[in-house]
Amino acid sequence: MSERTVLFYGQSLLLSLVGAGIRESANLHLLRATTWAQVEALTAVTAPDVLIYDLAVASESHILPLLFRNPHLLLIGLDPETNRAVLLTGREAQSLTMAQMREIVEAG
C-alpha cells in the first residue's frame, strides 16, 4: 500500500478521537491545520488525499472551491453535535445513464 496523506482541520474532541484512532496506521501521514490559511497552504504543497474537518468550523464557501481545485481529495466532515460523518468527493463519473442518475437521486 502506498502512503496516503490525511489533513485534519478543526479543534473538536471528535476530530481528535478520529485522529488518535487512525494514527497507528503505518501507511498514513497525518497533518494538522488550525486555520483555513494553513489548509490552503498545505493542500497547495502536499496535495493530501483526505481532508477530515469539523463541519461546525468549515464553511461551504471554503470547502467546495477546495474540492473543485482538488477533485481527487476525499472530504470527510465530522459533526460533533450529532456524531456523524459526511463524505464528499469531487470525482467525476463518466457517462452516467439516466437510469444511473435516477438511482443516485432516489437512493438519496
Which domains, ranges and CATH numbers included, belong to the chain? 4-107 (3.40.50.2300)
Measured distance CA(76)–CA(97) in Å, rounded: 27
* pLDDT of 100 strictly over 80: no
Predicted confidence at residue 39, as pLDDT, reads 93
3-state secondary structure of 51: strand
Task: Extract the C-alpha cell encoding 73.
Answer: 481529495
22-43 per-position pLDDT tens digit: 888 888 899 999 899 999 999 9
Q: pLDDT band at 77, cuts 50/70/90?
A: confident
Q: Is the dihedral of CA 77, 91, 93, 18 positive or negative?
A: negative
Residues 6 or more apart whose CB falls under 8 angstroms from that of 20 comprise none
Q: In which residue are the cell numbers 488550525 written? A: 34
Backbone angles phi, psi at 31, to 5 degrees: -125, 155
Beta-carbon contacts of 36 under 8 Å, excluding residues fewer than 6 positions away, are: 9, 58, 62
* pTM beyond cutoff 0.75: yes
Query: pLDDT tens digits for 61-75?
Result: 788 888 888 888 888
